[in-house]
Structure 1
Amino acid sequence: MFLILTLALLPLGLIALIASLQAIRTADLEKEALLRIAVTQSARKLTADLQSDRTALQLTVDSLASNSADRAICNRLSLFLAANDAEGGRYYIYDSAGRRLCNSSEREPASMTPTARFDGPATELLADSPYLVSRVPSADKRIIALIYYSRKHLESVADPATALQNRKLTLRQGDRRLAISHVRKDPPGGKRSSLSARLDPYDVELTMTVREPPATIARMLSLFLPLVMWFAAAAIGWFVVNRVLIRPLVILRRAVAAYQPGEVLEPLQRMRTPAQEIVALGETFREISEDVATHEAEMAEGLETQRKLTREVHHRVKNNLQIIASLINLHARSAHEPEAVEAYASIQRRVDALSVVHRNHFAELEENRGVGIRPLISELSASLRGTAPAAARRFAIQIDSDNLHISQDVAVPIAFLLTELVELAMMLDPQGTMRISAHVLPEQANRALLSVVSSGLRASEDMTVHLSERYGRVLTGLSRQLRSALDHDGEAGSYAIAITIIP
């Protein structure tokens, strides 16, 4: 939610940031214009001063070259230069023979050869010397005047009228540099801005460099104030939305997620919120939970009633099957013919098979897992051996089964199918054995193979007769109920059928 609010307020933050950057850019342009005016003004002042001195020197050397000047002209020149230069103006006039004709009282800063005095440019920055020299020859080139400008004088002349802090003035001629002013206190860091102007008509450039003070915390805050305001607005908005909307909704969601049938929800009992919609939503959940609790209680009561009825029906069915079994047993005792006794015993075994299925089904009914195949076959085998004919009392039944479960619709035909096969095997080979196995089919989690193997089930004439008279039709009908083919291997004496199980 904080990210969504931040993105929603992003356009306003960007507008404020652009406005702040535009203001900074405007201030930078104003500083650049002020710097341009200052360097132009300084270059013009320096040019005017140099030109004024050159004019005075030109008049002096021309007068000296014409031999009509008096010696007082040198004094007048000294007074003129001293008026412009606090150091008195260091000038020196030589003829072509190297004789000094006129000079100021100070010692010449740099000694030059006669050739260097006449052959140099009109204005020159001396190498390894903090002076600017200006040469003024006479009209006939026989006399040369040299005037030296110190760094102090150049700085006083070139000082601009505009108030620029941290400025630095430098004269440049080719690869020579002369710094005529220095920053009094050069701040660390900061941005440098430089502009240059040429001293007309000389090939000397004046460069003014201004270093801005480094960015302070206050300046950085003013620059990023729009972003800070944008972030603060998003944070305040998120805090309000979180306290008023998100937190109550989270509490409500947790209460609903932890809801158990039968409970009554009170999600906003320990928290108040001014959002009436959320309060109404919490009340709605509470009313729904009350209705659900009421219906759950009614359903639990109805389920208990249904369970009691199911138990009562079970007991009644079990009693009825016991009564039927008792009646069959009573009639079997009163019968005298062996065929009648065997008929009653056959009926008794099938009723017992149905009773076994019913008992196992009701035992697993509470957990709703279906009928277990292993206990079903085990109990059915014990019942069949208990009601077996006298000749088959030693008939052995081995059981090999996985822990499988089947529905009652499958358990009833399986119980009858095993009863028919065990009875048929006992009749044909009373002293034999039988192996009953049930295993899950490979790659089929809901199918299992039920197989019955016995020596009494091998192909023979007696078996063919029994199958044709009765057992064959019964086995076929039971396999149809199971919706699967019953395979018989006469040589191995085995029957196999695929049944549906509960995964």
Structure 2
Amino acid sequence: MFVLLTLALLPLGVVALVASLQSIRAADVEKKALLRIAATQSARKLGAELMSDQTALKLAINTFAVGRGDPDMCHRADSFLRSRASSDTRFAVYMRDGRRICGSYDGWRDGIPPERRFDPAAAELIPHRGLLMIRTLSNDKRLVALTFYDRAYLDQVTDPASSLQNRHTLLQQGKKRMDIGGVLAVQGRSVDSVSAPLPPTDITLTMVVRDPPVTLARALSLFLPLVMWFAAAAIGWFVVNRLLIRPLVTLRRAVAAYRPGEVMEPLKRMRTPALEIADLGNTFREISEDVATHEAEMADSLERQRRLTREVHHRVKNNLQIIASLINLHSRSAEAPEAVDAYASIQRRVDALSVVHRNHYAELEENKGVGVRALVSELCASLRATAPSGAGNASLLVDSDQLYVTQDVAVPVAFLITELVELAMLTDPGSTVRISVHSAEEAGHATLLIASAAYRASPRMHAYLEARFGRILTGLSRQLRAPLLYDENDGSYAIDIMVNG
């Protein structure tokens, strides 16, 4: 619809636009021609006036040069100039030695330095004083007549016979410029200018005409085709917007706000959509119904899987408890101290694995991983409960950030803490063990530090490491893929572990 309406009005709009442009172009050409004629006529008229004055002054100064001049000649020359020009037009005659022969008799001084009175230039603009100066030399070059014309006279002479609206006239000589009359051109509005030489000087007369203000009739004649075209576009836009664009926007918003499991009815409240848009909306509604059905089926499947996972974790937890109970029963029936210690050592490791499993299951719903702080705290409580004989009063201090690790990291970390705590309890039962886990500078890493006075270098410590703990600690550090750093002077073990996030 929009294209049809636009094409229907296009020929009429083009014809009206071409006619308006031709009329404006013809008016511009006519204005340019009138401006050229006016500038040429004004330059010739001013040049003729200047040449006439120069001729009269040249006759007078040549008479003075041959010694035939008299005071009345200056009066006659002054009267001649005042009769042709305004009362502000003045002249003065000088000799090369600087003496003034005669001039205007009103006490006026020209202010031209003596060294510049005999310059070769026939004419000179004095913009700051608003004067045009004409030099006239005698035949023997010993006398010079300086004539000064003001703006009023120059504007009067250059006023064109034809009436030009918004005219502005100026004289230019090199970089010098002097406005002599007319209306100044306004910035921001286009102007036309024409220049003409001013004989017999090197000065150029430039006439500028500012474009008249845009009237309502001129604007209507120019913009009528655009108004017609805009009306067609507005009608087309209304029709297209009502039937096509608004339904499409509504459909897009409904699709953007769609959530899986919902049923979309994007065009339920629209009464005037195009048939194709209505069919598209119905298609989206059918697709959303299918997606909602599939989402419900997937939710049921996920719930069944969650229940199955819970059952598996429950059975694993029960099995670990059964193993721990069996180890506890066997340890009670054992008579040899070595067997009791062995059962206790095994039970501590089973408890460590059970602690990891319980914490992993606790964080399974949120999928964050195993909480390090809770893991270490529960593991220390279990180690205190199953401490070797003589180490029941062992002190375990925990300082950990709120960090999370995967189960693959949690298991070797739990076994590593168990081994090192047991090593400290066996080496020095009354010692204090400090366990700290803090974030490292590198993202995704943390430092596990276990310190105790029992870890300082001693024969007993060296014997336990050689007998069993050294190989186990090395194997656990390989599982964590980081070196286990041992400081025998401070009595500490440190290792870098991977954390989530």
TM > 0.5 fold call:
yes
One-letter amino acid of the counterpart of residue 351, structure 1: V
Structure 1 residue 401, shift from structure 2 partner: 0.9
Q: Name the amino acid aligned to 1:19.
A: A
Partners in 2 of 1:414 and 1:232 — Cα distance?
Answer: 78
Q: Does 1:337 align with 2:336?
A: yes
Q: CA deviation at 1:282?
A: 1.6
For 1:445, what is the secondary structure of its paired residue?
Answer: coil
Say whether 1:402 aligns with 2:406: no
Q: 1:51 maps to what in 2?
A: none
**Match for residue 391 of structure 2?**
392
Give 1:15-164 correspondences, 5 Å limit: 16-23=16-23
In 1, Cα distance between equivalents of 2:219 and 2:247: 39
Does 1:485 pair with 2:491? Answer: no
Answer yes or no: is 1:460 the counterpart of 2:458: yes
Counterpart position of 2:275: 276
Distance 2:233 2:406 in 1: 63
Shift in alpha-carbon separation, 1:214–1:501, aligned structure 2, 3 A: closer
Q: Aligned pair in 2 of structure 1 residues 366, 396: CA closer, same or farther (>3 Å)?
A: same
Aligned 1:427-438 pairs, distance under 5 A: 427-438=426-437
Displacement, 1:375?
Answer: 0.5
The sequence identity of aligned pairs, in percent, is 71
> How much has 1:25 moved relative to structure 2?
5.1
**TM alignment of 1:182-331, pairs within 5 A:** 217=216, 220-331=219-330
- What secondary structure, in the 3-state scheme, does the structure 2 residue paired with 1:400 have? strand
In structure 2, how many angstroms separate the alpha carbons of the residues matched to 1:416 and 1:324?
17
Using a 3 Å threshold, how does the CA distance of structure 1 residues 222 and 489 change in structure 2: closer, same or farther?
same
2:358 is matched with: 359
- For 1:311, give the aligned amino acid: R
- How far does residue 402 in structure 1 lie from its aligned partner after superposition? 0.7
Contact 1:435 1:452 in 2 (8 A): yes
Report the AA paired with residue 426 of structure 1. Answer: M
- For residues 213 and 398 of structure 2, the distance between their equivalents in structure 1, rounded to whole angstroms, comes to 95
- Write out the 4+ residue segments of structure 1 that deviate beyond 6 Å after TM superposition: 9-12, 27-33, 173-179, 213-216
Inter-partner Cα distance in structure 2 for 1:323 and 1:245: 71
Residues 242 and 273 of structure 2 are in contact (CA less than 8 Å); yes or no, is this contact kept in structure 1?
Answer: no
Structure with greater Cα Rg: 1
Q: 1:261: how far off?
A: 1.2
Alpha carbons 2:451, 2:493 under 8 Å: kept? yes
The residue aligned with 1:77 is none
Question: Which amino acid in 2 is paired with 1:264?
Answer: V
CA distance in 2, matches of 1:342, 1:176: 127
Query: Are residues 1:441 and 2:436 paired?
Result: no
Give the Cα–Cα distance (whole angstroms) in 1 for the partners of residues 11 and 447 of structure 2: 72
CA drift of 1:220 comes to 4.2
User: Which amino acid letter does the alignment assign opposite residue 255 of structure 1?
Assistant: A
8 Å CA contact retained: 1:273, 1:279: no
Give the superposition deviation at 1:274.
4.6
TM-score (norm 2): 0.60
1:323-380 CA-partner distances (Å, limit 9, x unpaired): 1111000000000100000000000100100110011111111111111100100000
> What amino acid is the match of 1:329?
N
Partner SS for 2:493: strand
Give 1:466's aligned amino acid. Y
Pairwise CA distance, 1:280: 2.6
Question: What does residue 472 of structure 1 align with?
Answer: 470
Letter in 1 for 2:420: L
- Structure 2: any 5+ residue segments left out of the alignment? 34-155, 163-211
Which secondary structure does the structure 1 equivalent of 2:268 belong to? coil
Q: Give 3-state SS (helix, strand or coil) of 2:364's partner.
A: coil
Tell me which residue corresponds to 1:379.
378
Displacement of 1:458: 1.4
One-letter amino acid of the counterpart of residue 449, structure 2: S
Larger deviation, residues 356-365 vs 267-276: 267-276
One-letter code of the match for 2:456? R
Q: Which runs of 5+ in 1 are unaligned?
A: 34-172, 180-212
Cross-structure match for 2:176: none
Tell me the CA shift for residue 218 of structure 1. Answer: 5.7
Would you say the 8 A contact 1:373–1:404 is kept in 2? yes
RMSD, matched Cα:
3.3
- Structure 2 distance, partners of 1:177, 1:436, is 106
Distance 1:276 1:285 in 2: 14
Q: What is the CA-CA distance between 1:254 and the residue it aligns to?
A: 0.8
